[in-house]
Structure 1
Amino acid sequence: MKKHSGRKYSPGEIWGYHQDTASELKLAKALKKAGVSFEREVPIKQFTVDFLVDEWLIVEVDGWSHLTSSRQVEDRKRQSILENSGFSVVRIPAMDISHQAGLKQWVSKILKISKQGPPGLTRAGFENLHLKKEVETVRHKLMEQARRAGIAAQKRKRQVMRSGDNQRAGASRRYSGTGESMNDYFGPEAEDFEKLLEQYDWSKAPDKDEPEKRRNARKRSRHK
């Protein structure tokens, strides 16, 4: 019986985001150097986005896995949900920022988009300040709701993970409802059964035929 690991989960396992890729780290460093205000690994609705610039512009870095047709369908659905929540989405192929020239171009593009502000408000004929204010108010409410939903989804995932961890720990101790475990019999230092076998002095082990020899000896003594 193997001892329950009791290991600590990484933030990615708990909160549902992946480990940073080289492309994401490179982009983060370049954006910071350019003075761009951004957040990393932000929960929004059921997703966790790579970058959130100025609280409204989502930047996603797409690696090789995003090239498959099925993943592209999922990415389009994801983008539609995020945009309907008031955000703008920019997708960057990881290959584009693997070299310095491409990285500079994308950083410049992100800077330009962020300075322009959310789309729609800068269109010709959209000069009504009252209408602009109303649109911005609605958009901010949508984004706030989406972020609250993302935080709630994170908490649920964390609770499920903790619950599963507790169930695994409980299962390792259950035996016909008694709660007994290897630890109860052998102590905390001997929960690893393989370790017990390695430490056992096999020179003291009885011969496999010894029990049968003893039984035969007892039978002979009774017949005398």
Structure 2
Amino acid sequence: MSSAEYVVDRAVALAAKGERVLLGIAGAPGAGKTTLAVWLVDRLSARGVVAAHVPMDGFHLGDAVLDRLGLSERKGAIDTFDPSGYLALLRRLRAETGGTVFAPAFEREIEQPIAASIPVDPSVRIVVSEGNYLLSPLDPWPSVRREFDEVWFADVDHEQRRQRLRARHERYGKTAEQAAEFVLRVDEANARVILGTREHADLFVDVDAVVG
């Protein structure tokens, strides 16, 4: 595992390559990927490196689409995202550095993606993008992986991760019973798939130890 200083130094070194850098953060649901991404962007800014956080969650399929496909009860599984759209955005972020690229966000309060919500302007040297499936071997995810200069893996104690997930689901409207059931049925099934890709990461980060 890596210290906070090492993590920031490594990201700064990536950004010093001269071209815009794409850094991915993978990990199981509730591992703290967003927490790590936001923390890293703040630390990079403090070091004079302009960074932007562009989450993969902006490519969740909308609820109307999930309903039509019969996937609403599995929201968050690998087939409930638009990986080709995400890949296209990553390619734009790498290639279109002369103008602002607008990326989608994900609004937890309504559990929906929001188009063109995150501006990535030409000054951004490093884009930090986190998501569950960045290391998946299923097509087209290997093409997604190749767009990143590095992909790190967010690690955390698994019981703590499950507690965070239950609390998150309750915070956004589920009962305690519904939250516990969803974690066991959906989140943990996804976690097993994601943890099976962990060995392909470039760096393992203990989020609680680094972020504090």
Q: Assess same fold via TM > 0.5.
A: no
Tell me the TM-score normalised to structure 2 length.
Answer: 0.26
Tell me the TM-score normalised to structure 1 length.
Answer: 0.25
Higher strand proportion (structure 1 or 2): 2
Q: Which has the larger radius of gyration?
A: 1
Higher helix proportion (structure 1 or 2): 1
Q: Which has the higher contact order (CA 8 A, sep 6+)?
A: 2
